[in-house]
């Protein structure tokens, strides 16, 4: 079998070992297929045993991230072969399982596994690469890219059941949609109890929503090229970041690899509460390599290095903050999350009220400056105050408009004009903002600017009856 065919089949795994448990489960089912298929599978001969062991030892020496452990593991397999440990194992599945056990007894690496390859891998040798790639994409899409369930529970607690981390280039939009769904939740639960792993770029993307400042999440050392790649939070994401929202992460002993990295990233930064079981303990990413036509081995080619601890979770797993059986984790998390959500709401409300009071004080001060004809200073003060409100998601086009009308009704025309001008600058494609600005100029006795803004409003929305009527009242021509 050509290595390229196998590596295309395990496209995600070759990137970082994403969803390796799911892949191996598929492999196991495909190999086990039926009793007839097992009975008809050729037995492992002494010659094949020898060839497989020697090939695995060679591949480990060339690719395994820990060269010393690679030699020890390969030497141990050869010793076992010489001692006749594999002589009586004719069943391919049993042979693969024995090799896996022998390897892990030496290197303790839970990622390293020998498997019987599913028949469809070999079939891809005869398949057009474009068709094979299409089928792989369809397989990825069939499980909704791992985004299994989104929900808002009572108490405004958001919930995401995330089964894996596909490469960002195929799942980034899905992740952004999920984050948009959760963006108003007052606490968020990530359920990773059935998450077998994933790509660090999607982990990086989702983590980026929950840290305000650039944060070093993880590093991966690659033996090939002797290089280390750092993963930092991204400056920009689709939608809004949630650096203060309470986060809870559910774990189980099945949570593995990329799922563990996600949890470890949050845990080491004290950014989330982990609830459930200690995770599986696999921190070394890698890829699936073909041994021969029917056996493959997953070889870790890199290792994770956390910037806070300097180590990773290999062999020990990620310990939860609250240890409970996995099946109880959600109920306990909901209880904790509802309490955290209530506290978060109260804190946010207090902060928002303080910000709005400060904003109003600055706008009133700007009005006083305008009354003294200090135009530039007043507008700078008003614009800065309104911008703070926008950045805090407390203001939008509608309530900025309402704020302007509040000043208009108080006959504080210069202040109203300053607010409406800011709104027009922020929402230049809105007919309504120019309609309001035109009214403020009209009330202030500035007919020319009133006409200019009513005409602009009508250009953007020819159906705006109010703008048309105001232009007629002002004796101005309608341009359309």
- In whole angstroms, give the CA distance from residue 68 to residue 392: 53
* Per-residue confidence (pLDDT) for residue 40, from 0 to 100: 62
Same domain assignment for residues 81 and 122: yes
What is the maximum span of the chain, computed from C-alpha positions, in angstroms?
105
What does the pLDDT profile of the chain (480 residues) look like in tens digits?
A: 344 333 323 333 333 444 444 444 444 444 444 334 445 678 999 999 999 999 999 999 999 999 999 999 999 999 999 999 999 999 999 999 999 999 999 999 999 999 998 765 555 555 666 776 676 666 666 678 889 999 999 999 999 999 999 999 989 999 999 999 999 999 999 999 999 998 999 999 999 999 999 999 999 999 999 999 999 999 999 999 999 999 999 999 999 999 999 999 999 999 999 999 999 999 999 988 999 989 999 999 999 999 999 999 999 999 999 999 999 999 999 999 999 999 999 999 999 999 999 999 999 999 999 989 999 999 999 999 999 999 988 999 999 999 999 999 999 999 999 999 999 999 999 999 999 999 999 999 999 999 999 999 999 999 999 999 999 999 988 866
Q: What is the pLDDT of residue 312?
A: 96
Name which of 453, 447, 455 is nearest 474 in CA terms: 447
3-state secondary structure of 155: coil
User: Can you give the pLDDT at residue 339?
Assistant: 98
Q: Which of 122, 249, 246, 251 is nearest to 194 (CA)?
A: 251
Q: Under a CB-based contact definition with an 8 Å cutoff, are residues 284 and 270 in contact?
A: no
Q: Is residue 313 one of the residues assigned to a domain?
A: yes
Q: Is residue 135 part of a domain?
A: no
349 in helix, strand or coil? helix
Based on the domain organization, do 109 and 173 belong to the same domain? no
Residue 144's pLDDT is: 81
Is the domain of 117 the same as that of 92? yes
In three-state secondary structure terms, 266 is helix
In a domain, 409, yes or no: yes
The CA-atom distances, in angstroms, between 70 and each of 74, 109, 193, 314, 377 are: 6, 11, 31, 16, 70
Residue whose pair of structure tokens reads 């059935």 in the numeric block: 194
Boundary (domain end) residue, out of 130, 160, 186: 130
State residue 357's pLDDT score: 95
Closest CA to 467 of 478, 452, 454, 448: 454
Q: What is the pLDDT of residue 26?
A: 41
Structurally, how many domains does the chain consist of?
3
Instruction: Give the relative orientation of helices 46-63 and 92-107 as an angle to the nearest 10 degrees.
Output: 40
Is 345 within a domain?
Answer: no
Task: Please work out, in degrees rounded to the nearest 5, the angle formed at the alpha carbon of residue 300 by the alpha carbons of 7 and 312.
Answer: 140
**Within a domain: 400:** yes
- Domain end (from 130, 153, 184): 130
In a domain, 199, yes or no: yes
Contacts of 218 (CB under 8 A, 6+ apart): 200, 203, 204, 230, 231, 261, 264, 265, 304, 305, 306, 307
Radius of gyration of the chain (CA): 31
Q: Which domain holds residue 325?
A: 145-339
Residues 412 and 279 in one domain: no
Helix (H, G, I), strand (E, B) or coil at 427: coil
**Whether 192 contacts 320, CB under 8 Å:** no
Token pair recorded at residue 101: 């056990």
Give the per-residue pLDDT at 16.
Answer: 42
Shared-domain flag, residues 374 and 465 = yes
Same domain, yes or no: 253 and 393: no
Indicate the burial class of 133 (C-beta count within 10 angstroms; 0-12, 13-18, 19 or more): middle
Q: Could you tell me if 149 and 112 lie in one domain?
A: no
Q: List the CATH number of the domain containing 277.
A: 3.90.226.10
Residue 330 and residue 205 in one domain:
yes
Can you read off the two tokens belonging to residue 418? 């300053």
Is 137 inside a domain boundary? no
- 282, 304, 339 — which closes off a domain? 339
pLDDT of residue 4: 36
CATH number at residue 451: 1.25.40.10
Distances (CA, A) of 379 to 71, 125, 309, 364: 72, 69, 49, 12
Q: 275 and 335 in one domain?
A: yes
Asked, for residue 439, whether it belongs to a domain, the answer is: yes
The pLDDT of residue 146 is: 86
Nearest partner of 17 among 160, 134, 107, 113, judged by Cα: 113
Residues 59 and 183 in one domain: no
Listed residue (410, 470, 406, 385) closest to 434, CA to CA: 470
Same domain, 374 and 272: no
| Rounded CA separation 421/427 (Å) | 10
280 and 315 co-located in one domain:
yes
Across the beta sheet with 227-232, the strand order is 227-232, 216-222, 302-305
Q: Whole-model pTM?
A: 0.78
């Amino acid at each position: 079998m050509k290595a390229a065919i196998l590596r295309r089949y395990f496209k995600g795994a070759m990137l970082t070992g994403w969803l390796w448990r799911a892949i191996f489960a598929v492999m196991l089912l495909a190999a086990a297929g039926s009793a007839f298929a097992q009975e008809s599978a050729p037995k492992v001969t002494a010659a094949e045993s020898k060839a497989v062991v020697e090939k695995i030892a060679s591949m480990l020496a060339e690719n395994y991230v820990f060269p010393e452990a690679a030699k020890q593991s390969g030497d141990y397999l050869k010793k076992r072969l010489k001692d006749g440990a594999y002589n009586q194992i004719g069943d391919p599945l049993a042979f693969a399982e024995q090799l896996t056990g022998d390897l892990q007894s030496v290197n303790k690496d839970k990622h390293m596994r020998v498997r019987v390859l599913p028949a469809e891998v070999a079939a891809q040798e005869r398949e057009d690469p474009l068709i094979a790639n299409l089928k792989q994409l369809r397989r990825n899409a069939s499980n909704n890219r791992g985004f299994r369930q989104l929900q808002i529970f009572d108490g405004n607690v958001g919930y995401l059941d995330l089964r894996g981390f596909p490469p960002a280039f195929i799942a980034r939009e899905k992740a952004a949609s999920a984050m948009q769904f959760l963006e108003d939740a007052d606490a968020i639960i990530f359920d990773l109890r059935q998450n077998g792993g994933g790509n660090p770029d999607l982990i990086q993307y989702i983590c980026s929503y929950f840290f305000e400042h650039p944060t070093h999440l993880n590093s991966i050392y690659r033996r090939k090229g002797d290089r280390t790649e750092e993963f930092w939070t991204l400056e920009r994401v689709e939608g809004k970041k949630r650096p203060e929202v309470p986060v809870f992460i559910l774990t189980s002993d099945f949570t593995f690899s990329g799922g563990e990295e996600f949890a470890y990233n949050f845990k080491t930064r004290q950014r989330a509460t982990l609830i459930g079981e200690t995770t599986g303990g696999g921190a070394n990413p890698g890829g699936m390599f073909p041994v021969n036509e029917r056996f493959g081995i997953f070889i870790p080619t890199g290792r994770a290095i956390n910037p806070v601890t300097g180590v990773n979770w290999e062999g020990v797993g990620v310990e939860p903050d609250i240890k409970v059986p996995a099946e109880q984790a959600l109920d306990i998390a909901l209880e904790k999350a509802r309490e955290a959500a209530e506290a978060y709401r109260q804190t946010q409300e207090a902060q928002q009220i303080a910000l709005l009071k400060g904003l109003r004080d600055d706008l009133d001060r700007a009005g006083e400056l305008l009354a003294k004809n200090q135009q530039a200073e007043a507008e700078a003060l008003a614009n800065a105050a309104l911008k703070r409100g926008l950045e805090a998601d407390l203001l939008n086009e509608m309530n900025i408009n309402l704020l302007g009308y509040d000043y208009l009704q108080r006959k504080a025309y210069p202040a109203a004009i300053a607010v409406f001008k800011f709104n027009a600058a922020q929402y230049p494609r809105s007919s309504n903002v120019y309609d309001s600005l035109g009214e403020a100029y009209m009330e202030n006795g500035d007919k020319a600017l009133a006409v200019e803004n009513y005409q602009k409003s009508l250009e953007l929305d020819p159906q705006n009856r109010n703008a048309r009527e105001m232009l007629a009242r002002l004796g101005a021509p309608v341009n359309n």
